[in-house]
Amino acid sequence: MHKNIILWIAAAIITFLAGYLNSVTGSGLPLSGTFGIEGKKTTYKFDTYYDGKQPVPVAIRTDRDSLKGIIIYKEENSASWDTSVMKFKPGMLEGSMDIRTAPGKAEYRAEVFSNDKTYKIPYEGTVRLQVMGATSPIVTGLFWFCLLFALFLSTRTGLEYFAETRNEKKHGIFAAIFFILYGFVVSPLLISYHKGAIAHSVPGPAEIWSINHIILPVLWIVSLIVMFNSKHQKITALTTSILTILIFLLLH
């Protein structure tokens, strides 16, 4: 019993570390930086991926008592740039961009002004922004719950290799169930929101299925078939668990 609890705790720790590593290395990370304006710190974190409601917010933190700024942006197929004036609040310069095409792409930058000096953010070039259709927070939360809980169960299934019990098939069934929910139920719904199809159109199967989301459910279905028809159940579970973490880190 004591060893069983340790294995569950180890599975939780491994899942947390994998999730944290994904959050700091995954795609869609914001562009951030810090610089000084007349000896006062100014910090920005500009989104490169956005799936919320319009308009798209842009904020710059500053230690200055006052600061002026604008956002210069355009959508992917637009030849002209739009400008939005930012408003200053204590410690913050805030603005927004109205991106009319979602899903779509845009690029933007900010310029702040102080004592006849102009500071470009970023210093060179622009920020590329992938804009998705606004997604229900419930769907987004359900997507990550199913994925991370499935990852937790799959890790625990693999750690059964170090236990004296033979519960890898039982744990594997539950891992596969949550991976199936994630890949074949919640993911298509999430993609439909991202494509702006909810309440507007009926997307085809090719539009809502992604190999990145399907590969893990298929992996665990195949793994269960092998476990139920092989004497090498523990090594199969451990190998599948390791592959699952690697795929999660590479594709999400």
Q: pLDDT of the chain along its 252 residues, tens only?
A: 588 899 999 999 999 999 999 888 777 788 999 988 888 899 999 999 998 888 999 999 999 888 899 999 999 888 899 999 999 998 899 999 998 887 889 999 999 998 889 999 998 889 999 998 888 889 999 999 999 999 999 999 999 999 888 899 999 999 999 999 999 999 998 988 888 766 566 666 666 778 889 999 999 999 999 999 988 999 999 999 999 999 999 887
- The pLDDT assigned to 207 comes to 67
Quickly list DSSP for 122-175: SSSS-EEEEE-----HHHHHHHHHHHHHHHHHHHHHHHGGGSSS--HHHHHHHH
In the chain, what are the domains?
Answer: 2-26+135-251 (no CATH), 38-131 (2.60.40.10)
> With the CA atoms of 7, 153, 216 and 166 taken in that order, what torsion angle do they form, in degrees rounded to the nearest 10?
70
Query: What span, in angstroms and rounded, lies between the C-alpha atoms of 196 and 191?
Result: 9
Residue 73 tokens read as 């942006």
Quickly list DSSP for 52-103: SSSSEEEEEEESSS--EEEEEEEETT-SS-EEEE-EEETTEEEEEE---SSS
- The pLDDT assigned to 196 comes to 74
pTM (predicted TM-score): 0.83
Output the CA angle 123-129-131, nearest 5 degrees: 160
- The pLDDT assigned to 23 comes to 84
H/E element holding 242?
helix 233-251
| C-beta neighbour count of 65 within 10 angstroms | 9
Q: Give Cβ neighbours of residue 190 (< 8 Å, ≥ 6 apart).
A: 135, 139, 140, 143
What angle in degrees, to the nearest 10, is found between the helix axes of 233-251 and 137-159? Answer: 150
- The pLDDT assigned to 153 comes to 97
